[in-house]
Structure 1
Amino acid sequence: MENKVVDKSQLGLLYDVHDKPGFFTSIILGFQNILTSFGGIVAVPLIIAGIAGCNVVETAFLISAGLLASGITSIIQSAGIGPKKFRIGVGLPTVMGTDFGFVPPANIVINTMGGGLPAYFGATVLGAIFEFILSFFVKPLMKIFTPTVTGTVISLMGMSMMPVAFDWVAGGVGNPNYGDVKYLLVAVIVFVLVLLLNLYGKGMISTAAVLIGIVIGYIICIPMGLVDFSQVAEADWIQLPKILPFGINFELKYVVPFLAGYLVTIIETVGVMETLGQVTGTSMTDEDMVAGVRADAVGSFLSPFIGSGPVQSFSQNVGLIPLTKCASKHIGIVTGLLLIFMSLCPKFSTIISIMPSCVLGGASILMFGTITVSGVKTLLQVELNNRNILIIASALGIGLGVTFRPEVVEQLPGILGSLFGSGISAGTIVALLLSLVLKESPQHTVSEIID
C-alpha cells in the first residue's frame, strides 16, 4: 500500500515520500539522521547498564544491541511491511530506538523486584504483545484526535524537547563544566551554520545543512580539547550480534510495571505519526496510525532477543524533514542499514558517540523548533473559539509544566505516575479528555475574547 502524498512542491520538498535520492545523497542524509538520534539510541542502554551493574564488556554489548535493534526496526517502520489490513510500519521516514519512558519500570524490574536483565527482557516481550493487541483499538481512538488535539500535541512535542536541546548546548547534564562558554560558542556556531546553509544554500548544501553544521562543529571541538579519541583506539573493529546474550525470564509479575509504559508509548507514537503526516504532506489514514503503533510493538517484541529494550518512533528526527526538504522513506531505510553496519563496528560507532553534546545541541534548537511550528500550522486551521482555546491552553500548560517540573508528579501512584510522568503524555491526555468532555461553544471566538 502507498500513502497518499501531496505534490512535494507544495511543502517545498526536494524529495517526497516515494522518491529515491542518489546513492551518496542517501548516505549523507542517512548519517544526518543517525547524528540526530545517536544520543537517544545509546543513552538508554548506558542507563540500563548502570542500573544492572554491568561491566565494560556488557555495557558495550548493550549499546551495540541498541544500534542493531534501532536499525532493524527503523527499516520496518519506514518501509511498511505486509498487506493493507495487517501492515507493520507506517511507510514514512522514521528512526526507531530505545525510549527513556521505559527506564523507571526497568529499574523496578531489575532492582526492586530483583529480576535482573533476564526479567527486563522478558517483560519487554510480554509488554510488546500487550501493545500489539492494543494497536487494533487505535483506529476508533483516532476519532477523538481532532486537529485541536493533534496540533496541540505536535506543538508540545517540539516545545518539550527544548530543555533537552539546551542541556546539550550546555555540555550535557552532569557535566562539571555545564554551561562553559566553549560549549555555548560551539553550539552558536552550529546553529548559525545550519540556519544560513538551510536558508541560502543551493541543492545538496541546503539539504545536508544539519550534517554539514554538525561536522564543522565536531571539527572545531578537536583543537578546543573537547574530543577524546583514546576511546576510539580501545574499541574493537568487529562485533557480531548474539541471540539472548543475557537470557530471558517470562514471569508475568515482571510485566506489570511495563504496561503503563506501553500505554504511554501508544499515545506518543500516535503524535509522532501525526507529525510525520504533517511534515511529509501525507494524508494519514486510521490504518497508517495502526501500522505505526504495530511496528513499535513488533520492534519491542524482537529487540530483547538480540539484547535490546523496548523501542519507539523518535520524534527528533521528524524535525529534520522540513529542514532537509527530504521526506523520502528510502532515507529511513538507508538509515536503518547504516545503524546495522555501525552495530557490527564498535570502533566506527565510537567516533560518533564521543561527539560533544554541544554540537548536537546547536542543531537541535532548529529541529525541535520546526516540530513546534508544524503544530502551530495545524492549530491555525482550527476555529479558535473559547472551547478550543481552553483545550489548547490547558494541554500546553500542564504538558510544559510537567516537562519543566517533573518532580510534581513523582508521587502519583502506579499507572497515574507513568501516564503523567512525561510532559508529552500528560498534555496529550489532558487534550483528549477535555476534547471529549467540553461541549462546542462556537459563539465565543478568539477575536471576541481579545476584544
Structure 2
Amino acid sequence: MEENTNQLSLRYGVEDSPKFQESALLGLQNVVTAFGGLVAVPLVIAGMAGSSVEETAYLISAALLVSGIASIIQSKGFGPKTFRVGSGLPIIMGTDFAFIGPAQSVIALGGLPAYFGGIMLGSLLEIFMSYFIKPLMKIFPPVVTGSVITLMGATLMSTAMDWIAGGAGAENYGVPLNLLIAGIVFLLIVILNYYAPDNIARYAILIGMFIGYIICIFLGQVDLGQIVAADWFSLPSFNKIGIDFNWTYALPFLSGYLVTVIESIGVVQTIGQVTETDLEDGQIAAGVRADGFSSFLGPIFGSGAAATFSQNAGLIPLTRNASRKVAIYAGVIMIALSMSPKLATVISVMPLPVLGGAGILMFGTVMASGIQSLGQVNIDTRNLIIIASSVGVGLGIAFRPEITAQLPTFFAGLFSSGISAGTIIAIILNLLLKEKHN
C-alpha cells in the first residue's frame, strides 16, 4: 500500500490485507489489550454464583471462545444485506459489564442456568432493535457522536488509572513500584511509536507491554506457578451447566440490552471515524445485530452476553492499521487461547500496571478522536450545552456510579454506565433544543 505523507494517515485501510506475520502480531496486540475485559466478567459471574475453581476456568474459556467467534462475525460480516450480521469493521468483541447488575438478581433466583436463559431471551430485543437503526441515526448528528466518542475515551481513563495503580481493591494499590512499571511501559510505547521505524512503531504497544512483562518477572510480580500448573490443551464444549428459559429471567436484562444498543452505535461510529470509513446506516445496524446474535450464541457455549469493545479503538490510530483481517486474526487467537489454558494463563497473570501503561495512551487517543470530531462542529450556545451536559453527566456518573443505586432497576441499568448516561443526555438535549436559524 502506498504511504501517505500525512502523519495521521492509515498504513492499512479496512479492505487491505497485511502479511500473515504482521496480521498475527497486530491481532495478538489487540487480544493482549482487551484481555482484562475479556476475563473480568466471567470471573465476577463465577463469584456471584459461588462457582468452583473448575467451573470458573470453564466460564473463562467459554468467554474467550465466544469472544473470538463474535469478533470474527463482527469484523467479517455475514449474510444478505437485509439480514446481515456484522459491520465489516475491525472490531473486537467481548463479554459485557452492562449485565453484571441484573445478573446478580437473576443468579440469586435461579443460578447460572437462569442467567444463561435470561441472556439468550433478552438478546432478541437487541436483534429486533437493529432493524430500527435508520430512524435512530437521525438523533445522532456530529455534536452527539463527537460528545459520545470524547466521553468514551474519558470514562475509560479511570479504568486505566486503576490498572496503573495495581487494580481496584488491590492491597498494593498505588505503590510507587506499580506507578514506575506503568510509567516505563508508557514511555516505551510513546518513544517507539514516535521515533521508531514504521515496521517497529506499529508494534509499539505489544513491545512496550512485553518489556514491561519481562521486567515484572524479574521483580517477582508474576505468579509463574499458575502458568506451570495450567494445562496445555482443553477442547471447547457446549454449555455444561444448563439453560433455563423463563421470560421472568429475561426482564432484568432488558435495560442492559438498551445500554448495549446505545454503546454499540457509539463504538461502531468511533471505529468508522478512526478507520476513515464513511458508514452507512446498514453497517451500523449490522454491527448492533452482531452484538445481539453473539449474545444469543454465547450461552450455548457457556458464556454471557457479548458487546463491542471500545478500548481497542485506540489501537487503530496508534498502529495506523485499520485492516479487518487483523481483528479476524485476533478472533482466531482468542479461540486458540480458549483451548489452551496455559497460554491464556500467561496473559491473565500479566500485572495490571503493564496494561495500564498502555491503556492511558490508547484511551487518550479515543478521547482525542472525539475532540477532533467536535472541532468540526459549530460551537454555538445550543451545541455547547449539549457537549457540556453530555460529557459532564457521563463523567460524573463514571466517577460516582453509586449515585444511580437508588433509582428503579430499569433506570439504574440505563444510567449505570457513564457512556450510556452521557449518550442519553446528548440525545434528549439534541431533540429538545431546536436549532436557531438566522
**Fold shared, TM-score > 0.5 on shorter chain:** yes
Matched, 1:16 2:13: yes
Q: How far apart are 1:36 and its partner, in Å?
A: 0.4
Counterpart AA for 2:433: L
Match of 1:105 in 2: 102
Aligned residue number for residue 133 of structure 2: 138
- Consecutive unaligned residues of structure 2, counting only runs of 5 or more, are none
Q: Tell me whether 69-78 or 242-251 shows the greater mean CA deviation.
A: 242-251
Asked if 2 retains the 8 angstrom alpha-carbon contact of 1:8 and 1:281, the reply is: no
- Match of residue 429, structure 2, among 407, 416, 434: 434
Equivalent position of 2:254 in the other structure: 259
Which string of whole-angstrom CA distances, capped at 9 and with x for unpartnered residues, describes residues 414-451 of structure 1? 211111111000000000000000011366xxxxxxxx
* Structure 2 counterparts to residues 203-214 of structure 1, below 5 A: 203-214=198-209
Normalising by structure 1, we get a TM-score of: 0.95
Three-state SS of the structure 1 residue aligned to 2:138 is helix
Instruction: Write out aligned runs for 1:408-427 (5 A).
Output: 408-427=403-422
How many residues align? The count is 435
Letter aligned with residue 377 of structure 1: Q
Counterparts of 1:202 and 1:22, CA distance in 2: 18
Confirm or deny: 8 A CA contact 1:74 1:336 kept in the other structure: yes
The residue aligned with 1:72 is: 69
Give the counterpart letter for 2:163 in structure 1. W
Distance 2:189 2:375 in 1: 27
Q: Which residue of 2 aligns with 1:216?
A: 211
Match of 2:29 in 1: 32
SS of 1:97's equivalent? strand
Report deviation, 1:85.
2.2
Q: Matches of 2:15 and 2:245 in 1, distance apart?
A: 41
* Shift of residue 139, structure 1, vs aligned partner: 1.4
SS of equivalent residue, structure 1 residue 236: coil
Tell me the distance in 2 between the aligned counterparts of 1:130 and 1:85: 17
The equivalent of 2:368 in structure 1 is: 373
Q: SS of the residue aligned with 2:46?
A: helix
Task: List structure 1 segments (4+ residues) > 2 angstroms apart after TM superposition.
Answer: 7-11
Partner of 1:63: 60
Equivalence for 2:227 = 232
Map of 2:172 onto structure 1: 177
Instruction: Show the 5 A alignment for 1:327-406.
Output: 327-406=322-401
CA distance in 2, matches of 1:289, 1:237: 39
Kindly, what percent of the aligned residue pairs are identical? Answer: 56
Structure 1 residues 9 and 135 mapped into 2: Cα distance closer, same or farther (>3 Å)? farther
Q: 1:161 aligns to what SS in structure 2?
A: helix
When the two chains are superposed, the root-mean-square deviation of aligned CA atoms in Å is: 1.1
**Quick check: 1:386–1:441 contact (8 Å CA) kept in 2?**
no
Per the alignment, in what secondary structure is the counterpart of residue 30 of structure 2? helix
Between the aligned partners of 1:229 and 1:281, the Cα distance in structure 2 is: 42
Unpaired segments ≥5 residues, structure 1: 1-6, 444-451
Instruction: Report deviation, 1:201.
Output: 1.3
Cα deviation 1:173-228 (Å, max 9, x = unaligned): 12101001111001000101111111111122110010000000001111111101
Inter-partner Cα distance in structure 1 for 2:155 and 2:13: 28
1:34–1:339 Cα contact (<8 Å) kept: yes
Residues in 1 aligned to 2:393 and 2:191: alpha-carbon distance in whole angstroms: 35
Matching residue's letter, 2:255: A
Query: Does the Cα contact within 8 Å between 1:78 and 1:94 map onto a contact in 2?
Result: yes
Aligned residue for 1:268?
263
Alpha-carbon distance between aligned partners in 1 of 2:320 and 2:4, rounded to the nearest angstrom: 9
Measure, in 1, the Cα distance between the counterparts of 2:20 and 2:167.
34
Give the AA of the match of 1:83: P
Residue 197 of structure 1, aligned match among 192, 195, 200: 192
In the aligned structure 1, how far is the partner of 2:78 from the partner of 2:278? 19
What SS does structure 1 have at the residue aligned with 2:94?
strand
Indicate how the Cα distance of structure 1 residues 442 and 207 shifts in structure 2: closer, same or farther if over 3 A, else same: farther
2:301 is matched with which residue? 306
